[in-house]
Structure 1
Amino acid sequence: MPRLKRTAFAMALAATALAGLPGCRPASIARATTPSDGGALEGASELPARRALARELYVAGVPLLARYAVVHARNIDRGGAEYQGPLNVLHWVMVSAEISRAEPGATEAHEPAEAFTVAASLDLRAEPMVVRVPALPAERTYLLQLTDLQASVPAQISSRSTGNQPGDYLVVGPGWQGEVPVGIVDVIHADTTLVSISGWVQGLDTDSSGARQTLQRGFRIQPLSRHLAIAPPPITLGDWPQPLPADIARHSALFFARLEALLSFVPAQPGEANLRQRLQQLEITPPQRPLAQAATRALREGMADGQREIDQRRAALGGCDPGEVDAAHSDAISRACAAQRTLKEG
């Protein structure tokens, strides 16, 4: 069975927005936005540096805030109009393939005219999840795409890549170092502790109501502890942050405070830029000093700079379709553009 391959998305924030990109802009700004001592921005260059850093962090953070807002609406906000059901459960609906396109980076071609579309959100904070795929007849195709909060695609499980054989796939969060159980087809490593699943299973003309229910029951998500029939790990999970409304997320400096709160879902990885440290340079949260009006204005101007670049990319691409191939999302601007469209379309 071929191993699932990570796409170009996996370089999302570390290779572009979070690394500072000193070789891609004037050296004076590169030095100003990355103080050698990691401290706060100071001196005559403070406002230009703050604006440049705000632009960088805004572009990097847009996918995180946008994708979290979708997960929160669909699987966390039980009283909301868009609520589909709880986390770690597959949710099914019968729609045309025109609507059933997977999320950013989907490469599977020839979607069927009719399909059972499926969606879920995996919470990997406490433990890994096991995604089970049943045996399917050769004429029935399927695609399950996993997308993390950074708009990276850790894997696609599909009839094209793995055939129609049954299998259990272990989805693990950052830093997991447990033992892989016997019988696992592959281990899928995600860079965030919230991961979305979207995809479809081909519908056949011969499907009866009972056959459809049997088909859907064959696909399953369960915690690793339940898969192994052992006690779940003892862990206390924090509350869910409230998403920012889309208009506020584009214009308010609250964006950066919410980004900091969502970093609990993005544990630091070895060798990556320290996003938390870079956010601290903006001095946006207690016990740091209140920002002066000019500093707050610099943050908003930096956000506007980033949004302007996103809008320009949207115009150049003729829309930022979340279902386009990897090449359309190989940089932070395009990913932010696609994430905003995903949020708008729900």
Structure 2
Amino acid sequence: MPRLKRTAFAMALAATALAGLPGCRPASIARATTPSTGGALAGASELPARRALARELYVAGVPLLARYAVVHARNIDRGGAEYQGPLNVLHWVTDSAESSRAEPGSTVSASLDLRAEPVVVRVPALPAERTYVLQLTDLQASVPAQISSRSTGNQAGDYLVVGPGWHGEVPVGIVDVIHADTTLVSVSGWVQGLDSDSARIQQTLQRGFQVKPLSRHLAIAPPPATLDDWPQPLPADMARHSALFFAQLEALLSFAPAQPGEVDIRQRLQQLEVTPRSTLAQAATRALREGMADGQREIDQRRAALSGCDAGDADAAHSDAITRACAAQRTSQEG
């Protein structure tokens, strides 16, 4: 399968975190920049620097909070109204005649949990007249790959989706390895329907698409299970206006391990001194909220300029941090 271009989001995350502060190096050499010690902001420039850093970290962190909130609602919060089913399972919806989609077909979604082991995505062989697309999007709104009749053809294939830091052996028969920068990855897709499709044909077609942990694919014992200690997402309003945004961002970085040679955003977050139980001075808290508002204005301006930031546009998802934040917020709003 021809590899698609992909965004090194963690590098952009570090670059944007540094860009707003005086005396920082250009983003183009952020990877070579020595990380700060993570000391607290201080001095006469503390409030402007705090506001600038909050703006950059807000824009960079919006995708993690927005996309995690969607994954949590659909595949983790079993008692919630939006719950579709568990992780690592495909969930299908057959489009009705009243659907706004121009062509009939079935939509599919899933959330892949890569914390314990990789996941295999299997697509069946399809006739040439039937099109399909499966887009993988990580928590940082980057698109590691798109498996589709257009990009990979209509032949059957198994694709191995691996999380950051995985160095295992690739099994025989894998068409391609898809590397994700986060350990939670969303799958969204659509399979074209034909006029001749019966309910039985649709069910057979859907069963041909599968996701399964690597151990199940190989019929071997699974690795030790990971703890299901899922952070509770912030309410949408708090995610845009509360300083607790930064505390949740730090918690969600457990799903986005730092890559070797990159500035560690965790050290930048430490400078803000925000935790769920921290008590900042009123002026410091106001500077954080003002920085968040600055970042949201940039996102809103980009949304207006791009007429909406289509969350399904792979080119937009591979774009800069502001466009990714815009696309992630649209995904969160649309559900």
TM-score of the superposed pair, with normalisation by structure 2: 0.91
Q: CA deviation at 1:27?
A: 3.7
1:35: how far off? 8.3
Give the direction of change, closer, same or farther, for the CA distance of 1:152–1:204 in structure 2 (3 Å limit): same
Secondary structure in structure 1 of the residue aligned to 2:191: strand
1:336 is aligned to 325
Deviation digits for residues 286-323 of structure 1, max 9, x if unmatched? 89x63211111111111111111111112222222213
Q: Distance in 1 between matches of 2:63 and 2:297?
A: 16
When residues 249 and 321 of structure 1 are mapped into structure 2, their CA distance, relative to the original with a 3 A threshold, is same
Query: CA, structure 1 residues 259+328, in 2 after alignment: closer, same or farther (shift >3 Å)?
Result: closer
- Show CA shifts across 1:89-136 (max 9, x none): 0011122799798xxxxxxxxxx6111111000000011000111111
CA 1:98–1:177 in structure 2 vs 1: closer, same or farther (change >3 Å)? farther
- Aligned residue number for residue 3 of structure 2: 4
**Contact map agreement 2:104 2:193 (CA 8 A) in 1:** yes
Q: Distance in 2 between matches of 1:278 and 1:95?
A: 45
Q: Identity, % of aligned pairs?
A: 80
Name the CA shift for 1:36/1:77 in 2 (closer, same or farther; >3 Å).
Answer: closer
Query: TM (normalized to structure 1)?
Result: 0.88
Q: Is the 8 A contact 1:145 1:197 kept in 2?
A: yes
Please list, as runs of the form range in 1=range in 2, the aligned pairs for 1:206-217 lying within 5 A after superposition.
206-217=196-207
Matches within 5 A, 1:176-215: 176-215=166-205
Deviates more, 1:153-162 or 1:229-238: 229-238
Q: Evaluate the alpha carbon distance shift between residue 139 and residue 79 of structure 1 in structure 2; reply closer, same or farther with a 3 A threshold.
A: same
Match in the other structure for 1:83: 83
Deviation at 1:237, TM superposition (A): 1.8
Q: CA RMSD in A?
A: 2.4
Give SS of 1:279's match: helix
Q: What whole-Å deviation, never above 9, does each CA across 1:176-215 have from its counterpart, x for those lacking one?
A: 0000000001100000000000011110111111111111
Gaps of 5+ in 1: 102-111
Q: Which amino acid in structure 2 is aligned with residue 4 of structure 1? A: R
Q: Contact conserved, 1:126 with 1:237, CA < 8 A, in 2? A: no
Against the structure 1 CA distance between its residues 141 and 97, is the aligned structure 2 distance closer, same or farther, given a 3 Å change threshold? Answer: farther
Q: Deviations over 1:136-166 (max 9, x none)?
A: 1111111000000000000001111211111
Q: Secondary structure at the match of 2:272?
A: coil
Counterpart for residue 53 of structure 1: 53
Q: In the alignment, residue 215 of structure 1 is paired with which amino acid? A: L
Q: 1:276 aligned to 2:276?
A: no
Aligned residue for 2:95, secondary structure, equals: strand
For residues 51-77 of structure 1, the C-alpha deviation after alignment (integer angstroms, 9 at most, x for no partner) is: 111111000000110000001111111
Q: 1:339 to 1:12 in 2, by over 3 A?
A: same
List runs of 5+ in structure 2 lacking aligned partners. 27-33
1:142 aligns with 2:132: yes
* TM superposition outliers: structure 1 runs of 4+ over 6 Å: 96-101
Following the alignment from structure 2 to structure 1, what is the Cα–Cα distance between the partners of residues 143 and 303? Answer: 21
Residue type of the alignment partner of 2:281: A
Number of residue pairs matched by the alignment: 328
Q: CA offset at residue 4 of structure 1?
A: 2.9
- Alignment match, 2:42: 42
Structure 2 CA distance for aligned equivalents of residues 286 and 204 of structure 1: 52
The 1:342/1:236 distance shift into structure 2, 3 A limit, reads closer
Residue 185 of structure 1 aligns to a residue whose secondary structure is strand
